Chain A
Amino acid sequence: MLEIRNLHAEVDGKPILKGIDLSLKAGEVHAIMGPNGSGKSTLSYVLAGRDGYTVTEGSVTYQGQDLLVLKPEERAAAGVFLSFQYPVEIPGVSNATFLRTALNAVRNHRGEKNLDAMDFLRLIRQRTKSLNMTDDMLKRAVNVGFSGGEKKRNEILQMALLEPTLAILDETDSGLDIDALRVVAEGVNALRSPLRSMLVITHYQRLLDLIVPDFVHVLAFGRIQRSGGRELALELEAKGYAEYGVNEAA
């Protein structure tokens, strides 16, 4: 599904990722844990194709093709989805319009027809219900005036609509209280499937109590320092990142 080999990337000429190797098979959920500044968000932006994140070495292969040559919209259409740590507010564009435009863009790329307004409404009603979202959140401008929890639920709603093959969840737990976190995690778990891989990026282990990963990797100083099973997350919870040379006074 996804093969990351010796990935080096820099932002504004500053090296951030310094040789990442990671391999995800279909259906697997991998967690990437790491302290602030370790390169977690950079990795997610590099995978999604954001301008300004320059790959200087290494490769990323997604479903057999070179991911790095694709534009962001082409990656999305090919099934790569990034759930943003900070979902962007877009005044003047209603959430419903945004969701329908995105869904139809991805459908067109797959050779499927546009959904008309009625079919879209039917589909969105199904999806919003399970995420505890109100119709009001569809009418409002994208993420404008949304609480932290609403923004994250809106991300998961997009994921549920676009049905990606590879979902990257960038600090989906940040800014959420435990109830909001539970709703979001349930939304994510409902989307787990043998055909869908997930990369769950987080600072804290608490998210991994709810979205249980198959593998855990520790990212620090731009490299994967250690990989293991779920128990690694619990160990980090107890000991912190100190043994990786990071002193967080958190």
Chain B
Amino acid sequence: MITAAQAFLDQFDHDQSRLPGATLPWLRHARGVARDRFARQGLPTPHLESWKYTPLRLPVFVHAADVPQVIPSPGQPPVQSPEAYACRFINGGLVSWPNDLPDGVTIAALSTHPELAASSLQRDDVRAMAALNGALWRDGLIIRLEPGVVLATPITLTFVTLPGFTAVAWHLRLVIELGDGAKATVVEHHIGQHGSGSAATLANSVADITLGSGAILRHYQSQHAPETAWHIASSTVRVGDCASYEGFLLSCGAGMARDDVQVSLDGGDATCRLAGVTMLRGHRHSDATLAVDHHFARGTSRQVFKSVIDDDGHAVFQGRIVVHPGAIKTDGQQMSRALLLSERAAIDAKPELEIHADDVKCGHGSTVGALDDDALFYLRARGIKLEAARALLIEAFLADALEEISDATVRDQFLAQITHWLADRS
């Protein structure tokens, strides 16, 4: 029987002449390098340190673009404000994007304009899933802001997963480049819709983000993929001097979700804030694996992650801060807290600090607990029903992670999603 990894390689050999940019020598070469890397490494296994807590037992997938899709009638339009530049993907295929953009802003499909992202597409990523994406990607977006361009309107990306009768995979690529002093907000919504069937899906995405000097990117993601979905995202963020990256990850969905974020502070006085809320029930598994590398002086990084785990849910938090030689006066803080709502719920939390410079301030904390019985009784003794009391305490537990979102509209939106998740309990 053919393995999932072999099926991907066969797919590449079969499709390479018709993948986007197949006529571009540099892109053919880059795809070949990525393919060979994936062939050498194979799919990640728990023997790899960074995949220790997340077993990846993938079935054989067909590429989503090779399966005719039954697009359902648009029952529910995606939630987004009209004051946004909206892009929409269905099973990894870009179906709509805005065209009336201000000067200095580019949003383009990578399938037709790979040359706009040449440097990113030629980058050799050592992570196996990113390499697989590098070989097989068919669609994606480049978002580019020229230096000094400040985009007040958010860019929203909606990724719809539509399960069918065949297990399908897609390898989507997102490139974001902000020139010096540019400023943007990108909001991703990963949602599921009822498709024609309920076969497994694999979204294997790569995001490649580069911020020039003094640039500011707010990058918020909410993930509510269906339980039949594997959601794997490998991101790389390079933050220039005095630039700032603010990332938030709300992870409620997918049977198995893995967000691997690698941030490199590539200039002095750079800032990175990563925060997230993971909420799991059923047999869902969600893994946030983060690494922040401080290469220059006076960098600041924060990680604030909260997990609420019910039923047989399993969360993984692996947070790493590396302070390289010369990165003096680094301030790196990391905090992960989990609330277990059932006896079978579990979290594996692994904070890591690696410090190779003097005169730095770094700290981390990690806690796991249950809801406070005293507080529950106190609320109930004031007439608040058990479920409402639990919801109130859970929201309170999540509050400081949510406060890391500096955009008030998005914060309210995500809070509403959290409230909805809590109300769904039964």
* Chain A residue nearest in CB terms to B399: A92
Q: Which of B369-426 contact A (CB under 8 A)?
A: 372-375, 377-386, 388-389, 392-393, 395-397, 399-400
* B396 with A102: CB separation less than 8 A: no
* A101 with B392: CB separation less than 8 A: yes
Q: How far is the CA of A87 from the CA of B374 in the complex (A)?
A: 9
Q: Does A4 contact B (CB under 8 A)?
A: no
Q: Which of A157-199 contact B (CB under 8 A)?
A: 158, 162
**Selected contact of A92 from candidates B377, B379, B397, CB within 8 Å:** B397
* A162 with B382: CB separation less than 8 A: yes
Q: How far is the CA of A54 from the CA of B332 in the complex (A)?
A: 50
* A88 with B395: CB separation less than 8 A: no
**Selected contact of A72 from candidates B372, B380, B397, CB within 8 Å:** B380
Q: How far is the CA of A162 from the CA of B375 in the complex (A)?
A: 18
Interface secondary structure of B, over-half rule: helix
**Selected contact of A102 from candidates B374, B383, B399, CB within 8 Å:** B383
Q: How far is the CA of A89 from the CA of B379 in the complex (A)?
A: 11
* B388 with A105: CB separation less than 8 A: yes
Q: Does A31 contact B (CB under 8 A)?
A: no
Q: How far is the CA of A48 from the CA of B379 in the complex (A)?
A: 12
Q: A90-B375, A92-B399, A93-B396 are in contact. Are A101 and B380 (CB under 8 A)?
A: no
Residues of B within 8 A of A91 (CB): 396
Residues of B within 8 A of A49 (CB): 380-381
- A35-43, A76-84, A221-229 - the one binding chain B: A76-84
* A92 with B383: CB separation less than 8 A: no
Residues of B within 8 A of A162 (CB): 382-383
**Selected contact of B382 from candidates A50, A105, A141, CB within 8 Å:** A105
* A93 with B392: CB separation less than 8 A: yes
Among B374, B386, B395, the most chain A Cβ lie within 10 Å of the Cβ of B374
Q: A51-B373, A71-B386 are in contact. Are A90 and B381 (CB under 8 A)?
A: no
Q: A91-B396, A101-B392, A105-B388 are in contact. Are A76 and B383 (CB under 8 A)?
A: yes
**Selected contact of A77 from candidates B383, B388, B392, CB within 8 Å:** B383
Residues of B within 8 A of A3 (CB): none
**Selected contact of B378 from candidates A81, A87, A109, A141, CB within 8 Å:** A87
Q: Does A32 contact B (CB under 8 A)?
A: no
* A72 with B377: CB separation less than 8 A: yes
Residues of B within 8 A of A109 (CB): 383
* B373 with A102: CB separation less than 8 A: no
* Chain B residue nearest in CB terms to A108: B383
Number of A interface residues, CB 8 Å? 30
Among B373, B374, B375, B380, the most chain A Cβ lie within 10 Å of the Cβ of B380
Q: Does A73 contact B (CB under 8 A)?
A: yes
Residues of B within 8 A of A50 (CB): 377, 381
* A73 with B396: CB separation less than 8 A: no
Q: Does A201 contact B (CB under 8 A)?
A: no
Residues of A within 8 A of B380 (CB): 49, 71-73, 76
Residues of B within 8 A of A211 (CB): none
Q: How far is the CA of A141 from the CA of B392 in the complex (A)?
A: 12
Q: How far is the CA of A82 from the CA of B373 in the complex (A)?
A: 16
* A90 with B400: CB separation less than 8 A: no
Q: Closest Cβ of chain A: how far from B399's Cβ, in Å?
A: 5
Q: Does A106 contact B (CB under 8 A)?
A: yes
Q: Closest Cβ of chain A: how far from B173's Cβ, in Å?
A: 38
B 333-373 to A, binary, CB cutoff 8 A, 1 in contact else 0:
00000000000000000000000000000000000000011
Q: How far is the CA of A72 from the CA of B374 in the complex (A)?
A: 13
Q: How far is the CA of A51 from the CA of B386 in the complex (A)?
A: 12
Q: Closest Cβ of chain A: how far from B401's Cβ, in Å?
A: 11
Residues of A within 8 A of B382 (CB): 76, 98, 102, 105-106, 158, 162
Residues of A within 8 A of B395 (CB): 92-93
Q: Closest Cβ of chain B: how far from A158's Cβ, in Å?
A: 6
Residues of B within 8 A of A92 (CB): 393, 395-397, 399-400
Residues of B within 8 A of A82 (CB): 381
Q: A92-B395, A92-B400, A93-B392 are in contact. Are A73 and B374 (CB under 8 A)?
A: no
* B377 with A51: CB separation less than 8 A: yes
Q: Closest Cβ of chain B: how far from A22's Cβ, in Å?
A: 20
Q: Closest Cβ of chain A: how far from B305's Cβ, in Å?
A: 16
Q: A71-B380, A105-B382, A105-B385 are in contact. Are A88 and B392 (CB under 8 A)?
A: no
Q: How far is the CA of A103 from the CA of B227 in the complex (A)?
A: 38
Q: How far is the CA of A206 from the CA of B379 in the complex (A)?
A: 30
Q: Closest Cβ of chain B: how far from A168's Cβ, in Å?
A: 10
Residues of A within 8 A of B388 (CB): 101, 105
Q: Closest Cβ of chain A: how far from B65's Cβ, in Å?
A: 45
Q: How far is the CA of A216 from the CA of B31 in the complex (A)?
A: 87
Q: Which of A44-81 contact B (CB under 8 A)?
A: 48-51, 71-73, 75-77, 81
* Chain A residue nearest in CB terms to B384: A105
**Selected contact of A73 from candidates B372, B375, B383, B399, CB within 8 Å:** B383
* Chain B residue nearest in CB terms to A106: B383
Among B372, B383, B385, B395, the most chain A Cβ lie within 10 Å of the Cβ of B383
Q: A102-B383, A105-B388, A109-B383 are in contact. Are A88 and B397 (CB under 8 A)?
A: no
Q: How far is the CA of A106 from the CA of B383 in the complex (A)?
A: 6
Q: How far is the CA of A141 from the CA of B397 in the complex (A)?
A: 12
Top 6 A-B residue pairs of the complex, sorted by shortest distance between their CB atoms:
A92-B396, A76-B383, A102-B382, A72-B380, A88-B378, A105-B383
Given contacts A90-B378, A98-B392, 9 further A-B contacts (CB under 8 A): A51-B377, A73-B384, A77-B383, A90-B379, A92-B400, A101-B384, A102-B383, A105-B385, A162-B382
Q: Which residues of B contact A (CB under 8 A)?
A: 372-375, 377-386, 388-389, 392-393, 395-397, 399-400
Q: Which residues of A contact B (CB under 8 A)?
A: 48-51, 71-73, 75-77, 81-82, 84, 87-93, 97-98, 101-102, 105-106, 109, 141, 158, 162
Complex A-B: 17 CB contacts under 8 Å? A49-B380, A51-B373, A73-B385, A76-B380, A81-B381, A82-B381, A88-B375, A88-B378, A90-B375, A90-B393, A91-B396, A92-B396, A98-B392, A101-B388, A102-B383, A105-B382, A162-B382
